[in-house]
Amino acid sequence: MKKNININLFGTLYNIDEDAYNLLENYLNSMQRYFNRQEGGEEIADDIEHRVAELLWKKREAGMTAVDINVVKEIIDTIGSAEDIAGDNNKAENAFASYNKRESGKQDGTFKEDFKQFAKEAERFTRDTYDRGREHVRSHRYYRCADDKVLGGVCSGLATYFEAGSPLIWRLGAIALTLLGFGLPPIIYIVMWLITPAALTPEDRLRQQGRDVTPNNLAEQVKCDSEPVVVQNENKGCLKAILITIAICCVLPLIFIFVIWGRIIFDLFSF
Amino acid sequence: MNTDNTKSQMRKGMLEYCIMLLLRQQPCYANDIIQRLHEAEMIVMEGTLYPLLSRLKRDGLLGYEWRESTQGPPRKYYVLTDDGHKALAQLDASWEEIQRTVYFLKNEK
């Protein structure tokens, strides 16, 4: 059994399942936010809403009684697939990479040539790494993960940003650093918690993953967000307890360090 | 060589002309446009259509009027304005040019 909502779309009433309603609302909202940044955007969003109404009407004419989530997904698939600029760029990059590979595959016998080849490759590797790093910084934006967190979602945010490791590994790393770092990591953690935003909207989550905010990607993300997430909750409570214990333990050494620094500075100036 | 990008660029460039062509005969609303393009085997993603229509309207080439419908929500019928007809005539001419160029280069010995 599912909770059912009545919606009025341009004068026609539809019965819509609650999950389908949430998905549809999310989709229309994100379309609105996306197009709002360009001229005449409000009207475009309105056109799309009309199109949704039109497609729903057709479905009803074909015998649909209540709008379920699959109908909404189908509609998003129909309308949402706009241009995928990111895809085009990737293709060009891949072609370049395969050309590079072919070039570097050419072999020369002499040691000098080998060394030259090695130097060239090392240079290319450095340049590639630098370019990739710069590209990564350009395309990705750091957000805390609002939906996968133990304390503030800083660690899962880092895992997403760097596209490396699971949040759990970052959390364990943070704990290890805290134990080694005499109280500085928790301060960094708290500062990051305070100054970085949490990923709340589908747009945030796209930027967090370094994907372009296009209608197509947005539609995909909105659909993806609507899927029930299997959250591994079992070790979060335990982690939280460990973290809080560590945080308390760290306050003591920290005070100790400040006292020592205070003494040193005091001694220096008392000459 | 991967021709996908070139093909999609060609289609993108054509889309505007195609939409104006099909509006020359009669006013259409979004559903008509999508259906006619589909019949003409012009592959187009719906999402790209609305920004394009909105831009043509801002440029003064298209106008629209709302018509109530007994078959669903009110429909926005797009019409070609006088400026639109003039622009379309120019596009016709440049399409002829493109065709001539391609024909010439294809048959060059």
Give Cβ neighbours of residue B15 (< 8 Å, ≥ 6 apart): B42, B44, B48, B52
Under the phi-then-psi rule, with left for phi > 0, alpha for psi from -120 to 50, and beta for the rest, what region is A63? left
- A31 to chain B: nearest residue by CA? B47
Question: Which one, of A259, A253, A266, lies nearest residue A187 by Cα?
Answer: A253
Q: How far apart are CA A106 and CA A117, in angstroms?
A: 10
A15: three-class secondary structure by DSSP: strand
Say yes or no for a CB contact (<8 Å) between B47 and A216. Answer: yes
Please check whether residues A101 and A126 belong to one and the same domain. yes
pLDDT band (50, 70, 90) for residue B109: low
pLDDT band (50, 70, 90) for residue B93: very high
Q: How far apart are CA A136 and CA B50, in angstroms?
A: 32
Please check whether residues A158 and A178 belong to one and the same domain. yes
The string of pLDDT tens digits covering residues A28-84 is: 888 887 777 777 888 888 888 899 999 999 998 888 888 988 898 888 888 864 433
The string of pLDDT tens digits covering residues A175-192 is: 777 777 666 777 788 888
Residue A202 has pLDDT above 50, yes or no: yes
Indicate the range of A120-129, A219-228, B80-89 predicted with least confidence: A219-228
The string of pLDDT tens digits covering residues A151-165 is: 778 888 888 888 777
Residue A117 has pLDDT above 70, yes or no: yes
Asked, for residue A208, whether it belongs to a domain, the answer is: no
Asked, for residue A205, whether it belongs to a domain, the answer is: no
A215 chain-B contacts, CB cut-off 8 A: 47
Q: How far apart are CA A191 and CA A184, in angstroms?
A: 11
Please check whether residues A186 and A263 belong to one and the same domain. yes
Q: In whole angstroms, what separates CA A119 from the centre of its chain?
A: 37
Supply the pLDDT for residue B90.
94
Supply the pLDDT for residue B20.
93
Kindly report the three-state secondary structure assignment for every residue of A199-235.
ECCHHHHHHHCCCCCCHHHHHHHHHHHHCCCCCCCCC
A16: three-class secondary structure by DSSP: strand
Q: Which fold has domain B4-106?
A: Arc Repressor Mutant, subunit A (1.10.10)
| Segments forming the whole domain that contains residue A52 | 1-80+213-231
Q: How far apart are CA A239 and CA A171, in angstroms?
A: 8
pLDDT > 90 fraction of chain A, expressed in percent and rounded = 2
Please check whether residues A181 and A259 belong to one and the same domain. yes
pLDDT band (50, 70, 90) for residue A263: confident
More confident residue, A163 or A14: A14
pLDDT band (50, 70, 90) for residue A87: very low
Supply the pLDDT for residue A94.
38
AA identity, residue B66: W
Supply the pLDDT for residue B101.
94
Please check whether residues A190 and A149 belong to one and the same domain. yes
Residue among B8, B30, B47 minimizing CB distance to A215: B47
Say yes or no for a CB contact (<8 Å) between B30 and A50. Answer: yes
Which DSSP string do the residues of B3-67 spell out, in sequence order? -HHHHHHHHHHHHHHHHHHHHHHS-B-HHHHHHHHHHTT----HHHHHHHHHHHHHTTSEEEEEE
**Domains contained in chain A, number:** 3
Asked, for residue A96, whether it belongs to a domain, the answer is: yes
Asked, for residue A206, whether it belongs to a domain, the answer is: no
Residue among B45, B48, B50 minimizing CB distance to A47: B50
Long-range contacts of A191-194 (CB under 8 A, 24+ apart): A192/A144, A192/A152, A192/A154, A193/A144, A193/A151, A193/A152, A193/A154
Say yes or no for a CB contact (<8 Å) between A57 and B72. Answer: yes
Say yes or no for a CB contact (<8 Å) between A91 and B45. Answer: no
Asked, for residue A236, whether it belongs to a domain, the answer is: no
Please check whether residues A217 and A102 belong to one and the same domain. no
Residues A65, A71, A76: CA angle, nearest 5 degrees: 145
CB A155 within 8 A of CB A174: yes
Supply the pLDDT for residue A89.
31
